[in-house]
Structure 1
């Protein structure tokens, strides 16, 4: 069975790549995946899969026509906050797959926000036309419930991502703290300066070594470099299979870390401070104590669901010492998720896999 996997793949975002890897890990053995990618060569090299350019109309048509199934592969694909064009792209492909009579699965979705009436109508119609749907949070589940669309609710699939060992961490000093920041309008220059000063105080009080992890280098690297410049001898930017105290002029010389490697990195630090949703999920998933900085409802929902400490960015204290003292107290009394909690989360997450096997295994039912 050939199945097209559609998501924000090949864009260099570790969170979306983690969703792709988890999806590949969960697919039944009889499935041959075809990944729609913005960087087909890199996706092929990283994962050994067949690919199709996500922007070539002819290739997309031909690939869908020759496939048995189509999957929206996790993440916040269906939202119109960052761009109104983005959901229309995913809508168009799902509509085409449904019109062709393919098995269509919306898998591990984080739905919304959907502010425009048009995107809400299209989303409702296309989710209703799917063979099956799974969502990752209560907000998406409530929306589908309101629309009377059957669905499965389970934790984000990345909770089940298998870690991949990474070389070189053993040379770094202990203790270690991982930091995952990303640009966002709420992370103003003043707030970034406040966080930087708070990190300096945290490092001095704990004598820790900071691992700066740009999850999407083309957007996150500038912030990581600024933090490294403020902490030049006690921090390191980690990307491209090895850490670097500075950064090469041509970061494309090597492939970025596999997403599974980030999960392994989090297993070897004492604490993580993260904005990105999948940074928090990967860290919490290996029992790393996490402190969240929320810029988005999906991060806030994660904090509430798993009782993770943190701040909304627009409510960040203005005093760096207040922030650093909160971090220091958390560092001293940190409590990760327990093995029993993690086992329960992973067990629930496997419902996403059960959906895939139910509809894509050799004797699957093909009725919607």
Structure 2
């Protein structure tokens, strides 16, 4: 009998980074496994990825899916954090604990853990992770949490490093050089800071004559900013790509990326593109640190648009992308997440053979 795995994450919610994590997980899942995705938009997930999907909020469907499955996978990203909401970790730990009580093999896969501000969330996370069959994390901050909890884990770069990109039609018809910009709504991106960045982008475009591609990663949080910027920046256009593999493919045709989104920076860096980070979250700051990327925390952005523009121009002219060897190393390391899946799922086969 084949193995069915329930894949649980922030899928079908219109976030390019989380869709990229799903694409990566499907790419790395052993071929013997049939995936069933819990999605916020099941029909879209079915159409985009060609897999079975059910509504993540339909309790009866979810319980039935768990009954018919042997494996439950928390599929990547910042699922266990209480910075944006206290309810989100309750949803994910609740589902994981249900799967554990029902006897499924449970895998916490490519997790970015934290921030965890509340003692209750920390306790819940520790309890849940400790009962997982396998745990893999994507950064040293997450590794520190599971290490403090005394839980065995595997540390490897985010799986999106290894996701295959696909070409974007018409991209190469746009004038070169091309620069990608990704901004998202955030309390620290105040109207004043956004105005300074906008002015700096106008100056930067004037100096480089670049075709500025405004690339939203999530319609609900990024698109309005992109659409507000577009009329102000000559030679700019909004590119809303829903397919995560096309999102990654886009950066192949871009000289430089100025991005807030964590996966925007990974996709750009993996495509030999110069990157400049605007960090709104510890995970972005950690990535800047790990890859030695230039950038600013949002609350440290210079107030003078000329200073911002000068810094960008300096990086545009003299900055270097990651070398092919560095990228290959990160891609190879990211593939370790596939080994974690294989080993844990192999345990299922062994236990079935031995009748336990």
TM range (shorter): over 0.9
Q: Secondary structure at the match of 2:152?
A: coil
Q: 1:359·1:366 contact (CA, 8 Å) conserved in 2?
A: no
Match of 1:273 among 222, 242, 258: 258
RMSD between aligned residues: 1.2
Which residue matches 1:297? 282
Please show how residues 58-97 of structure 1 align to structure 2 within 5 Å: 58-97=60-99
Q: Deviations over 1:139-179 (max 9, x none)?
A: 11011111110000000111111011111112211110000
Distance 1:365 1:327 in 2: 55
SS in 2 for 1:5: strand
- Change in Cα spacing, 1:365 to 1:229, as seen in structure 2 (3 Å) is farther
Partner of residue 124 from structure 2, selected from 101, 118, 122? 122
Which residue does the alignment assign to 1:36?
A: 38
Corresponding position of 1:243: none
Q: Secondary structure at the match of 1:15?
A: helix
Structure 2: stretches of 5+ with no match in the other structure: none
What residue number does 2:29 align with? 27
SS at match of 2:238: strand
CA distance in 1, matches of 2:249, 2:338: 22
Q: What is the CA–CA distance in structure 2 between the aligned matches of 1:360 and 1:218, rounded to whole Å?
A: 36
Structure 1 equivalent of residue 316 of structure 2 = 331
3-state SS, counterpart of residue 239 of structure 1: coil
Unmatched 5+ stretches in structure 1: 241-255
Instruction: After TM superposition, list the pairs within 5 Å mapping 1:1-368 onto structure 2.
Output: 1-231=3-233, 233-240=234-241, 256=242, 258-361=243-346, 364-365=349-350
In structure 1, the residue corresponding to 2:253 is in which secondary structure? coil
Q: In the aligned structure 1, how far is the partner of 2:203 from the partner of 2:141?
A: 37
Q: Any runs of at least 4 consecutive aligned residues in structure 1 with deviations exceeding 4 A, and if so which?
A: 361-367
Query: Which string of whole-angstrom CA distances, capped at 9 and with x for unpartnered residues, describes residues 319-363 of structure 1?
Result: 000000000010001200001111111111111000111122497
TM (norm. structure 1) is 0.93
Aligned partner of 1:248 in structure 2 is: none
Shift of the 363–81 alpha-carbon distance from structure 1 to 2, 3 Å rule, reads closer
Deviation for aligned residue 1:235: 0.5
- Alpha carbons 2:165, 2:248 under 8 Å: kept: yes
Q: Tell me, yes or no, if the aligned pair for 1:11 and 1:38 is still in contact at 8 Å.
A: yes
Please state whether the residue corresponding to 2:166 is helix, strand or coil. coil
In 2, are the aligned partners of 1:358 and 1:365 still within 8 Å (CA)?
Answer: no
| Aligned counterparts of 1:286 and 1:213: Cα–Cα separation in 2 | 16
CA distance in 2, matches of 1:18, 1:365: 31
